[in-house]
Structure 1
Amino acid sequence: MNTMVNKQDSRLAMAHIYVAIIALALGGLAGLLQVLVRTGKFELPSPITYYQVLTVHGVLLGLVLTTFFIIGFQFAALSRTLGALSQNVLRSGWIAFWLMTIGTTITAICILLNGASVLYTFYAPLQAHPAFYIGLALVVIGSWVSGFAMFASYRSWKKEHPKQVSPLLAFMVIVNMILWLVATLGVAATVVLQLIPWSLGMVDTINVLVSRTLFWYFGHPLVYFWLLPAYMVWYVIIPKIIGGKIFSDSLARMSFILFLLFSIPVGFHHQLTEPGIAASWKYLQVVLTFLVIVPSLMTAFSLFATFELYGRSKGATGLFGWFKKLPWNDARFVVPFIGMIAFIPAGAGGMVNASHQLNQVVHNTIWVTGHFHLTLATSVVLTFFGILYWLVPHLTGRVLTKAMNKLAITQALVWAFGMAIMSGSMHSVGLLGAPRRSAFSTYGNAPQALEWIPYQYAQAVGGTILFVGIILILIIFTNLAFFAPKGTTEFPVGETDNQSEPTPLFFENWKVWLTIAVALILFAYTIPFVDMIHHAPPGSKGFKLW
């Protein structure tokens, strides 16, 4: 296992991170404008529209920031654990980067010219300019090239180390990219086979239910594509940072396999109120959705077991004495830890969303937006920030100074405070029925709208605080990338506790796991999909289905 990522691999990883940071800045500004508009006291300058800004915010933060950051981090992780990337892998990585960057640029221009104000979900029958869909297709294709490059690096290592278990972090990267490639088949199908021909005028109509189903086949595992890199840090990086050991290599691998199996065939729980899907199939996918709770609980157990073992090794006594022994002055630990804590209410909210009965209360309300901001914008994003504080100086040959460390902890506290206000108000007013995606001015004369006004102001306050947090992270990133003192920063990778049982090779029997995954997907989707096509409304038969 390498101790450093070499310069060539570092440049590839940093290129991805630069794009992610630009997306964070622009998407964060769009988010600030959204919450200000929803107060009813602020108007966007013409010709900018609310839904244009909403689309910028969702696409840049939900798709661009996450995809670029995750792929950059994962290339660095493979270089650190499997050895320097080969020239072929490196070349493929750069080809993928430019495909994704060109696609992102085309998509962004289209949105800025107001040709694609269709939100980040881009549901039909909302229609965007063909360039928007073509740009998205390039981003997905580029990510596939990156994925296959990572698989090639992993395969080379396995050939050189037969009958050896791969490093845990590399194993996790491969699971996440398998998840991504399988999931993006859905969004690629609807974009290439439905939306592009439709936007070009090649067909007059498409089957909207098929389009939404293909999107949510992708949309829910997308959440786990975001989340699993955070889990990688929680499982593998944090133990090293605190000076402890990974509780169990086998448990970590099993949790990732379960995420792969149970996160894809569950898209119907986003479509519980939609007609055209039999209740029995919705019920099946709700059950599969709740099975994802199992690896989540496994992760929580493993993490806090790691913390307790470390605390006990430092002399902690009593039920919670270990808590005091954790490194509360180290931003590399504190920032992701706040993200871990945020995932407790986020997970509870996810259970509400996935429940058929409780979902009826919150469906299409701004509660869902509040939940989204707890999962992605808090648990995941704060963990990503925590990664930046050691990964960027490692890749650029610099160090995290005491001043930047203190500022990083301050940034996390500012972020948590702002998110508590904004997301809390979204959850609260969502229970009162306030719709998601809507500007205040679109509420019209709804009698209950007056009840929502205080919550709209709270969202604006929270959103403004979050924007201050974005400014702080931009300051820290700029310092770490360009101005921090030169030096050597560790890429921390934890070691398994000596008392753990050896990890069986069975976890890397990909034929078994992929066969089970495909079987679950076919079981959950084949009959409902055939029904959607068979019962397609007039005008969407045959080629027009696509």
Structure 2
Amino acid sequence: MMNIKSALPKKDASLTMAHMWVAFISLLIGGLMGLLQTFVRTGKITLPFGIDYYQILTVHGVILALVLTTFFIIGFQFALMSKTVGMSNGQRKWGWIAFWIMLLGTTATAIMILLGKASVLYTFYAPLAAHPIFYFGLTFVVVGSWVACFVNFHQLFKWKKQNPGEKSPLLAFMVVINMAIWFIATLGVAATVLIQFIPWSLGLVDEINILVSRTLFWYFGHPLVYFWLLPAYMAWYGIIPKIIGGKIFSDGLARLAFILFLLFSIPVGFHHQLLEPGIDPFWKYIQVVLTFAVAIPSLLTAFSMFAVFESAGRAKGERSLFGWFKALPWKDVRFLAPMVGMIAFIPAGAGGLVNASNQLNLVVHNTIWVTGHFHLTLATTVILTFFGISYWLIPVLTGRKLDAKTNRLGIMQTIVWTLGMFIMSGSMHIAGLLGAPRRSSFSEYNGSEQAVEWIGYQYAQAIGGSILFIGILLMMYTFFYMTFSAPKGIEEFPIAEEEIDADTTPMIFENWRLWIGIAVVLIAFAYTIPFIDIIQNSPPGAPPFQWPIGRS
């Protein structure tokens, strides 16, 4: 086992760094598209060169919600697996194969969107139609990610074979749980793309079943949220305690939380389809109940993390009720950025409960409230944690140090990002409660009474978006500084240790057949009967493929 403070092997660092380059380039491009969207929604700016609003909306959603996240997560997880269980030459080779397959698919998809041939948003709902290459590109991204999944699975399998009867490293356990969620979930989107969209786009079939396609997408779409979130949880559970001078509160509790995410994150897609006809209300109710069950591992995580914070503070001599809070290293960006993300997850989680509730969802469905919620969960909680990871991970990968300048830039960037997101996401939530629609440039509402009521919030979104773009430029500058200019040296890879007197972790948590089996049973229970009903009784499908479909 390598010393905790040593850098990653150079070959493994190169693999992760390749993923980081794609992720941060995606951040810049996607952020620019988001900024342009906020300007257009004010009604004062028109896009040049005949660029369509829905084209930049698609770029923004696909490149940030899918490309940035997938590449960052897989790269980060390769680093975690290399550090905890090791990576063989063969595994590294397949890791690179996965990277190039995903990059090929990303490039093909991006070209079609930028050419205006795939302005179908990141949900690509039929009957919106894209060029066939767009769908083939999506397929390559998914297949490449599956290769990465099986690399991670094999890494843990090989480690367990070499260490029979031992508890697997916590972070490696978490990576495999997350990749199991991803693999099972992407079966849905792969099915709709391969069986429905590609034959439709090639003219091999005249129509596709829209409700089936949406159901398969949301079978994938909601666990996608946890695929984003769980790497942040990995950092919270397994890395933040080390940074603040503490210990992991409970290894067993951490594993239990991840197992619960595996069980409850996948069979819940119907709560995104509460207002769609053709799905029996009973099955919607079942999936809403399962959706609320996902709050349990989040509450376990909140309890665990604040226990870590208090223990670390009291170990430093703080004895007052909340003295431990001020003892936390607020001037260390490795802690500050993820901590702000944790705090943002409190209102984000509350908003998620609103979205998942059948009654409350009627108020906010298809309004820009949902977009504001999305920016609290992904763009604040997850992305700020990813930024916090980057401040130590990039120096580890490039053989440099996290110096005072990097830390100072990171703190500035965190403050700017938080301010921008507070303004933009807050105004989206309020405008959504007033009925402002999502997925709209608002041009069709200009001059109406409703538009007058919303316009102030559109300006606020433009202000918040501008501040956020400044935050992106700061992050890009810091990324280049950490990569090329920071002082050379060996940066710590901060992996936390368990409390010395911690309770023994139950070995049943290592029973992969049991937990995967329960997950499959829950999925079958939640989807089999309603899916059969959808196929037998849903209305006619999308019309014959026509591309491009114009917008009025």
Kindly report which structure 2 residues correspond to 1:196-207, keeping only aligned pairs within 5 A, or say none.
196-207=198-209
Residue 34 in structure 1 maps to residue 37 in structure 2: yes
Q: Secondary structure at 2:449's aligned position in 1?
A: coil
Deviation at 1:403, TM superposition (A): 1.4
Q: Which residue of 2 aligns with 1:436?
A: 438
Conserved 8 A contact 2:126-2:542: no
Q: Which residue of 2 aligns with 1:544?
A: none
Residue 94 in structure 1 maps to residue 99 in structure 2: no
Kindly report which structure 2 residues correspond to 1:380-399, keeping only aligned pairs within 5 A, or say none.
380-399=382-401
Render the CA deviation track for 1:358-380: whole Å, top value 9, x for unaligned.
00000000000000000000000
Mapped partners of 1:457, 1:427: distance in 2:
14
Deviation at 1:540, TM superposition (A): 8.0
Kindly report which structure 2 residues correspond to 1:319-334, keeping only aligned pairs within 5 A, or say none.
319-334=321-336
Q: Which residue of 1 aligns with 2:123?
A: 121
Point out where structure 2 has 5 or more consecutive residues left out of the alignment: 544-552
Render the CA deviation track for 1:436-455: whole Å, top value 9, x for unaligned.
01002122554211100000
- Picking from 3, 6, 11, the partner of 1:8 is 11
Residue 81 in structure 1 maps to residue 116 in structure 2: no
Q: Which residue of 2 aligns with 1:507?
A: 509
Q: Which amino acid aligns with 1:267?
A: G
Please identify, of 441-450 and 249-258, the stretch whose mean Cα deviation from structure 2 is larger.
441-450
- Picking from 471, 474, 487, the partner of 2:473 is 471
Mapped partners of 2:37, 2:257: distance in 1:
37
Mapped partners of 2:298, 2:541: distance in 1:
44
Render the CA deviation track for 1:186-238: whole Å, top value 9, x for unaligned.
00000010001101111111000000000000000000000000000000100
Q: Secondary structure at 1:246's aligned position in 2?
A: coil
Mapped partners of 2:64, 2:472: distance in 1:
12
- Picking from 138, 141, 161, the partner of 1:139 is 141
Q: Which residue of 1 aligns with 2:361?
A: 359
Residue 68 in structure 1 maps to residue 62 in structure 2: no
Q: Which amino acid aligns with 1:220?
A: H
Please identify, of 312-321 and 220-229, the stretch whose mean Cα deviation from structure 2 is larger.
312-321
Mapped partners of 1:539, 1:294: distance in 2:
38
Q: Secondary structure at 1:502's aligned position in 2?
A: coil
Render the CA deviation track for 1:283-335: whole Å, top value 9, x for unaligned.
00000000001000000000000000011111112211100110111010001
- Picking from 157, 181, 188, the partner of 2:190 is 188
Q: Which amino acid aligns with 1:485?
A: P
Kindly report which structure 2 residues correspond to 1:32-431, keeping only aligned pairs within 5 A, or say none.
32-83=35-86, 85-431=87-433
Render the CA deviation track for 1:122-174: whole Å, top value 9, x for unaligned.
11111100000000100000000011011111111000000000110000000
Q: Secondary structure at 2:92's aligned position in 1?
A: helix
Q: Which amino acid aligns with 2:253?
A: L
Mapped partners of 1:537, 1:122: distance in 2:
19
Conserved 8 A contact 1:165-1:504: no
Mapped partners of 2:178, 2:259: distance in 1:
10
CA-based RMSD of the aligned residues comes to 1.0
Q: Which amino acid aligns with 2:283?
A: W
* Percent of paired sites with the same residue: 68
Mapped partners of 2:509, 2:538: distance in 1:
42
Deviation at 1:537, TM superposition (A): 2.8
Q: Which amino acid aligns with 2:191?
A: A
Mapped partners of 1:315, 1:536: distance in 2:
65
Render the CA deviation track for 1:55-105: whole Å, top value 9, x for unaligned.
00000000000000000000000001112x111111100000000000000
Mapped partners of 1:368, 1:404: distance in 2:
34
Mapped partners of 2:146, 2:448: distance in 1:
46
Render the CA deviation track for 1:509-538: whole Å, top value 9, x for unaligned.
011001100000000000110001111334
Q: Which residue of 2 aligns with 1:536?
A: 538
Mapped partners of 2:294, 2:542: distance in 1:
35
Q: Bigger relative contact order, structure 1 or 2, given CA contacts below 8 A and separation 6+?
A: 2
TM-score scaled by length of structure 2: 0.97
Conserved 8 A contact 1:52-1:116: yes
